[in-house]
Amino acid sequence: MNAKLFFQAIIKFISGALLVAALLFIPAGSLSYFGGWLFMGVLFIPIFIVGIVMMIKSPELLEKRLNAKEEQSEQKTVLLLSGIMFLAAFIVAGLNYRFGWIILPVWVNIAAAAIFLFGYALYAEVLRENVYLSRTVEVQENQKVIDTGLYGVVRHPMYMSTLILFLALPLVLGSVLSMCIMLFYIPIIIMRIKNEEQVLKDGLEGYAEYMKKVKYRIIPFIW
């Protein structure tokens, strides 16, 4: 096991957990925020498990995802907008709990958590299917078009899974207001996909033919 990669992953995991906890529980003004703890559980326990599996079976992919830096200006804008969206959604969810603006029943939190875990299972399957998967928009050396499994259904199964995850997220937190904020993910992801497909079409052999073969981007029979 690569000790340097292990400690890098652990540090990013802990810092990410502390950041999300601060964004949720400080605005909530309490550690009794059930939705906050539920979200922390369904987010970070699967991340920890998948990280361990990747460390053992595919350390190259783990390293690539930990160290990825976006180079394209269009995608830097997308990442900035996404960061603002998440920041606002987490803070508003905490404030919603503190001030009791719109309180959802607990079963909604739990049902949304189940949907969130389903989305994460899809995400893990995408990681298994595509060894070229990157956090940045790029064409890698010796990259080939993947057209089997989930990639035979939609062209961007990773974004399909993140759409499920991000729309379930605010309901896990029990915040309708955060759901309104997270709806901005739809135009953000459309912007990213259009740029990504142009990059792949221009730089990856066979991708133009793949686009003709698999017509839907993230939602089968719709888009």
Q: What is the pLDDT of residue 138?
A: 58
pLDDT digits (tens, 9 = 90+) for 78-122: 788 889 999 999 999 999 999 999 999 999 999 999 999 999 999
pTM: 0.88
How far apart CA 87 and CA 24 sit, in angstroms, is: 10
Q: What is the pLDDT of residue 57?
A: 80
Q: What is the pLDDT of residue 66?
A: 67
CA-wise closest residue to 124 among 152, 161, 169: 161
Residue 104 CB coordination number (10 Å): 17
* HEC readout, the chain: CCHHHHHHHHHHHHHHHHHHHHHHHHHHCCCCCHHHHHHHHHHHHHHHHHHHHHHHHCHHHHHHHHHCCCCCHHHHHHHHHHHHHHHHHHHHHHHHHHHCCCCCCHHHHHHHHHHHHHHHHHHHHHHHHCCCCCCCCCCCCCCCCCCCHHHHCCCCHHHHHHHHHHHHHHHHCCCHHHHHHHCCHHHHHHHHHHHHHHHHHHHCCCHHHHHHHCCCCCCCCCC
Tokens of 182: 């997270």
Which ranges of the chain have pLDDT less than 50?
none
Cβ atoms of residues 19 and 168 within 8 Å: no
**Which fold, 3-213?**
Four Helix Bundle (Hemerythrin (Met), subunit A) (1.20.120)
